[in-house]
Structure 1
Amino acid sequence: MTVVAADALVSLAVLIALLFVVYGPWQWACTDYARQRLFEVRDEIFDMAADGELNFKSQAYRDIRRSLEMNIRFAHDLTLPNFLLLLILRKDNLTEKSTLRRAIEDLPPEIRAKVARKVFVAMKALIVMMIVKSPVAMIVGLPVYAATRLINSCRVHVSKAAAFCADLIQVEAENAPSAIRFHSHQIVH
């Protein structure tokens, strides 16, 4: 066997192993992570009911709990290609509110915000899971995410620097000899 053929065989074996990891254990680990976050949020909402913030028997509590459990079961089916297909198939009905959203809106305002924050954590875990399960999204998404963070960070620093410079310029303009003459000239006339 030539060196080139051996190198090609090793490369093929590494590619097969990588594909096995990406489409096997990596998928399972991502799904397990999202499910764990969903379980934690469900438990936190249960604790809110146990503490009397929510009523165990209320329709809103039951709908929220049932919705989170549906997401726990649905997590293994949620992939970026499936989501994009769902987006295309439901494009005419994207404004429909979910039972979960309606249940949260039925809560008293002070509880609504607390539950909404918790549910957002769960939904964010599902979104992250969906993205990191996709090799294409990771290859394209990581550089885009890094660039976005860098640009946003630069924008924040540039805004702070511009505000500092603007303040310094304004202070200097107000204290410059020409400004004093201008003010005194205005006052005299």
Structure 2
Amino acid sequence: MKILLIWAVITGATYLVSAIASEVKQWATRRALRHVSPKEIAQLIKDNEGKITAQELHQRTAIPYWVAQLVLTELTEQKLLEEKYEKNRFGRRVKQFELSVFPTEQNLRFQLQGIASTTPLKAKEELLDADVIRHAVDAHGSITATRLCLKTNVTIEEAAKKLDQLHTKGVFDIQTSDEGGLFYALNDKSLLS
């Protein structure tokens, strides 16, 4: 009886985790497709000799790598793309995605929209020193990596890295708040007047 009860609990927990993971995957995919449309992905594939990897999609758009994987997998499940495996120059198998050859109405519309698209892809913007300093001035001389992340639409890691670089150059001084958090204070106080 105990074994049956344990099995039921494990099965229920597994189902719950699976359902949550599925919801997170769908949410992330929908969110990513707001930043880069299937039409833009089709155009990018066309411009990239008919194929693309998740890494290439990540590098050429503003979406994170793991979300690029989800988007390409979702488009594959919708039969809009096909998975292919090719070896790279190091002999490793790399998953690439190509436009599907299935002649479904949805697929043809996807491909034609992509080919006719003149919408430029959203390039991943480089975070400039001047922008970081401007955001710090707007925040009365101090800024955190989290605030910079929100203001510039970069990852927390990229924001922290940029702030650390500017600290090394002497633009910012690292200080600790009363709550124990780190923030970066501008050294040049003349910018605040």
Which of the two has greater helix per residue? Answer: 1
State the TM-score, normalized to the length of structure 1: 0.28
State the TM-score, normalized to the length of structure 2: 0.27
Larger radius of gyration between Structure 1 and Structure 2: 1
Higher relative contact order (CA 8 A, sep 6+): 1
